[in-house]
Structures are given as C-alpha cells and as structure tokens.
Structure 1
Amino acid sequence: MSNKPATTTSVTEQGPIDHSIELGHGNSPAAWTCVAIMLIGTVVGCIAFVMGESATILFWIGVGIIGLGLIAGLAMKAAGYGVGGSKLKNTGH
C-alpha cells in the first residue's frame, strides 16, 4: 500500500474556483421541450417494459420518441431557443 494521500490534485494547482459565473443549467425552451418529449418516451418505454414481450414494438416506439426529443431540442437550439440564443435575448421591447 502507498502512503500517498488519496487526492493528488488540489484546487490550488488549477487555480481558485470562480462561483460567480452563471452556468445556465440548460434553463431554456429548447431544453424544457427536449426533456418533456424524452420524458413521454421514457413513460411509453416503461409501460411497454412492464407489459412484457408482447409490447416489444411499443418499447422501441418509446425509444424512438426519446430520439425525437433529442432532435427537437437540438433543432430548437439551432433556431435560437437555447441558452443564450438569439430568440431569447432581451431587446428592450
């Protein structure tokens, strides 16, 4: 066993952490739409999973809905509805 401490990198080697920077956390119409559609797909997939082998197609439909949610979120982000997007900037009107 080694006598070295468990952590080899410290915060001081990388510099101090600036907690004043706003991260955004994806709080945008694109993110909310993406998550809402993916949640519907997850519910469909879970219901199909509980139903058993007879609902295999329904399970894959749920997986497809999850994929559509990702595509919808990316499309909305590209259209300017993501964090810091052009459609969300306050123009003073």
Structure 2
Amino acid sequence: MNAQNDPGHGHSPAAWTAVTIMLVGFTIGTVAFFFELAWLVWASAALVLVGWIIGGLLAKAGYGVRGPKYFPKVHS
C-alpha cells in the first residue's frame, strides 16, 4: 500500500483531540453512573458529543489526516 492510498488511521491532531475529549466524557460518565448521578451521566454524554463536534471542526480547519495543516511523522 503506497502513501496515497493509506487512510492515515486517524493519526492527526483532530483525531487525537476528539478521542481525548470523548475518553474523558466516557470516564466521567462511567463514574457518575456508578454513583447514580444521572445529571452528570447526561452531562458527560454531552461532552462526548462536544468531542465529536470539535474533532470535525478541527478536521475541516485542516488538522485532519488529509488536511493542509497536518504533517505525518516519518516512520523508519
């Protein structure tokens, strides 16, 4: 597979930012569910959606895998 056909596997600032925000949301939601804090479960669900939106916005801003502001690392 050559570099032009490589999908990039999400190794971009947009993907890393989105996944980090979503992981924080899932973690908070899991702990809140354990302690039966329904309002915090819903707030963490909203945080997961915010992470998804921010990832999309960063990708549109050029920080996605095929964006002009993304420079892939060279692997040896």
TM range (shorter): 0.7 to 0.9
Gaps of 5+ in 1: 1-19
Partner of 2:13: 29
Percent identity for Structure 1 against Structure 2: 42
- Letter aligned with residue 32 of structure 1: W
- Letter aligned with residue 56 of structure 1: A
Q: When the two structures are aligned, how many residues end up with a matched partner?
A: 69
**Greater C-alpha radius of gyration:** 1
Quote the Cα distance in structure 1 between the aligned partners of 2:55 and 2:48. 11
Quote the Cα distance in structure 1 between the aligned partners of 2:19 and 2:60. 16
Give the TM-score, by structure 2 length. Answer: 0.85
Give the TM-score, by structure 1 length. Answer: 0.70
CA RMSD of aligned residues (A): 1.4
